[in-house]
Amino acid sequence: MDKLTYIICGKLYDGLAEEFKEGYRILIKNDKIEEVGPDIVQPESAEVIDLSDATVTPGMIDAHMHMDYIDWHTIREEVYTTSEEAKTLAVARTARKTLSRGFTTIRHTGGITSNGFGVLDVKRAIEKGYITGSRIVAAPRFLCGAGSHGDLSQGFAKNPELSMILQDLRPTLGAGKDFFVNAVREEIKYGADFIKIMATGGFFTPYDNPSQLQMNDEELQAVINTAHEWGKTVTAHVYSVEHMKKLIQFGIDGMEHCSLMDEETAQLITDNDIYVVPTFCPYEEAVHYDPVLIQTKQEEYRTKLEYYKDALQAGREVIKNCKCKLGYGTDMVATHQNYESGFEFKAWMESKMGTFRTLHAATKVNSEILQLEDKIGTLEPGKYADIAAWKRDLMTDPYALLDCAFVMKEGVIYPTERCEEL
């Protein structure tokens, strides 16, 4: 017998229109949305859920996560002091916690601590109903070069013998066109949903910087061409405009961060229909300069935030005013726990991005980035019943997405958890 659920909404954001609709109802049949509208008749057999005191939205989507660690304060130690099994448990824990916070789908953009495929095991276990968690789209391992932002053995560079041993633990770290062609094929063989590359240096690692190109032209082109030949998209960790332009030229599908963007590059990205997941959270202490909070960061991270502070502020203004397809992603490895995805809402709101642009990024746009737009991202008939509700004011409260009042995934209601830092 079909299960019917009838939701009474206070306000409703459907992922389509830039408005909160009032007096709306949602009728769910089993795991999918049957009807959405103001004049839906309540079936006698339906379970009624009264959310008349809340704002109902699609389940949120975080498009840039690293799920494979327990605590950001100890992430560096976890890289080498915990087993792959422990890292898989961390992934499962993160998936459960993001779901309880209203994020029904999450995108894992490569393991920070993990060199394995535990995220795919967790993904499959969730899909089969063995465990509870957010829907996962994953690139289990990112592709990178020696000494790059993806090479966490660089922290041991003063002990070359040890660093080389640790470097060899990351199978997708290498050099040359042939290496990267084969690496792409292997990642797809093992179940990667997309390919992630570390194109430039970054802020979190000690001996590189965001302005360095860390894969050469032949390597970049080989990755993108091979992935496309095998039917997969490619996204890149990238910061500088020179390297963004190079990736655009080579046919990249998307880019992560892009924090040093200028107006010319933003227009190129828009013209080529490339998405950007700008991940505001990691740079907040520099963009909205806070000399006290910035002192809480690791020394090399703090030093680079200070050095690039003006460029980060200028880049944020470009992103704010651009017409690029912007996704919502957190990338929290050095600030906040990885499952507290609502902090990105705070960062967008405090950057004057606006409520509806932010919600649009976290729902419809992200569903397109994840290539799941036919299943999730909007509240429409035929889509999965992935639904969240919030009692804080989404128009004025930057902490609103840190306090989920209700969450449903594929028609099943799950318990919610409030952000631990509120």
Q: What is the DSSP string of 311-379?
A: HHHHHHHHHHH--SEE------SSSS-TT-TTHHHHHHHHTT--HHHHHHIIIIIHHHHTT-TTTSSS-
Burial of 222 (0-12, 13-18, 19+ CB in 10 A): buried
The pLDDT assigned to 111 comes to 97
The pLDDT assigned to 365 comes to 98
CB 204 within 8 A of CB 301: yes
Is residue 293 over pLDDT 90?
no
Is residue 421 over pLDDT 90?
no
Encoded tokens for 322: 């651009």
Map out the domains of the chain with their CATH numbers.
4-58+377-414 (2.30.40.10), 60-369 (3.20.20.140)
What Cα–Cα distance (Å) separates residue 100 from each residue in 123, 132, 220? 16, 10, 38
If pLDDT is split at 50, 70 and 90, which confidence band does 298 have? confident
- Could you report the per-residue pLDDT of 278-291, keeping only the tens digit for each? 999 999 999 999 99
The pLDDT assigned to 422 comes to 81
Cβ neighbours of residue 69 closer than 8 Å, sequence gap 6 or more: 75, 78, 87, 90, 112, 113, 333, 338
Is residue 297 over pLDDT 90?
no
Mean pLDDT over all residues of the chain? Answer: 96
The pLDDT assigned to 377 comes to 98
pTM, rounded to two decimals = 0.97
Residue type, 368: E
CB 343 within 8 A of CB 336: yes
- Could you report the per-residue pLDDT of 29-80, keeping only the tens digit for each? 999 999 999 999 999 999 999 999 999 999 999 999 999 999 999 998 899 9
The pLDDT of 105-133, averaged and rounded, is 97
- Could you report the per-residue pLDDT of 226-252, keeping only the tens digit for each? 999 999 999 999 999 999 999 999 999
CB 416 within 8 A of CB 102: yes
The pLDDT assigned to 1 comes to 84
- Could you report the per-residue pLDDT of 307-360, keeping only the tens digit for each? 999 999 999 999 999 999 999 999 999 889 999 999 999 999 999 999 999 999
What is the SS3 assignment for 125? helix
- Could you report the per-residue pLDDT of 166-192, keeping only the tens digit for each? 999 999 999 999 999 999 999 999 999
Helices then strands, each counted (H, E), the chain? 14, 16
SS3 content of the chain, % helix, strand, coil (to 5): 35, 20, 40
As a whole number of angstroms, the distance between CA 359 and CA 61 comes to 10
If pLDDT is split at 50, 70 and 90, which confidence band does 155 have? confident
Residue 27's nearest CA partner among 45, 7, 12 is 7
What is the SS3 assignment for 80? helix
CA angle 136, 298, 201 (to 5 degrees): 65
The pLDDT assigned to 204 comes to 87
Between β-strands 47-58 and 32-37, what pairing exists: parallel, antiparallel or unpaired?
unpaired
Is residue 420 over pLDDT 90?
no
Burial of 46 (0-12, 13-18, 19+ CB in 10 A): middle
As a whole number of angstroms, the distance between CA 341 and CA 105 comes to 11
What is the CB neighbour count within 10 angstroms for residue 162? 12
What is the CB neighbour count within 10 angstroms for residue 317? 14
Residue type, 73: H
What Cα–Cα distance (Å) separates residue 272 from each residue in 157, 324, 343? 39, 10, 30
Residues in the chain: 422
Between β-strands 234-238 and 195-198, what pairing exists: parallel, antiparallel or unpaired?
parallel
